[in-house]
Structure 1
Amino acid sequence: MSPTPDDSEALQDGDVETLSERGYWVTRVVGDPSHELSFSDYDEAVTMGRALAEAAGSRHIVPADRFHNPVPPPGIATGRMPATTDGRGLPFDNPSG
């Protein structure tokens, strides 16, 4: 089965869903928390979701808003770090001592 482009129908127990969650791709079986897998790669997550759905004879759903939560995993820098030195290259005073 190929992924359904949206989740216009309500998810039912046994359906397989692949979505972005906290910077990872998650493939899970609705109603069965023991079948929830995390991936760093979208294609891997969709491939696993497709295989799970096919094995169970259920639907594989990839919500249209699959990029709804683009928070990266911990430890991944996402922007500029705050300045730690002044214009002369000297460190700022440390207010905590």
Structure 2
Amino acid sequence: MKRSGTATGAYNNVSDIRLKKDIKPLLSSLSKLNKLKGFNYYWKTDSSSSSLKTGVIAQEIKEIFPELVQEDEKGVLSVNYIGLIPHLVEAVKDQNQQIQTLK
């Protein structure tokens, strides 16, 4: 099972406000992200490549951000990494506010 690919150019996700409803701000992103762990690993099924990978564990993400995890028909979990970006943005803003308060 090959799980990598390359592309040139930009990849854009549709994000137009006109296509959204029930918009609510993210809350507690910093405390949620503090519960996550990043890992280095090798794929078990990719014997042709011994390159080190970096990522998260879908089961752990599912506990904190269930909306970012999908399960396929075989029960294999995948993570919407792009969906983590808004939480990272809010966490940086929270940290910046804490830094400003400390100054």
Answer 1 or 2: which has greater strand percent: 1
Greater fraction helix: 2
Query: TM (normalized to structure 1)?
Result: 0.23
Question: Larger C-alpha radius of gyration, 1 or 2?
Answer: 1
Larger RCO: 1 or 2 (CA < 8 Å, sep 6+): 1
TM-score by length of 2: 0.22
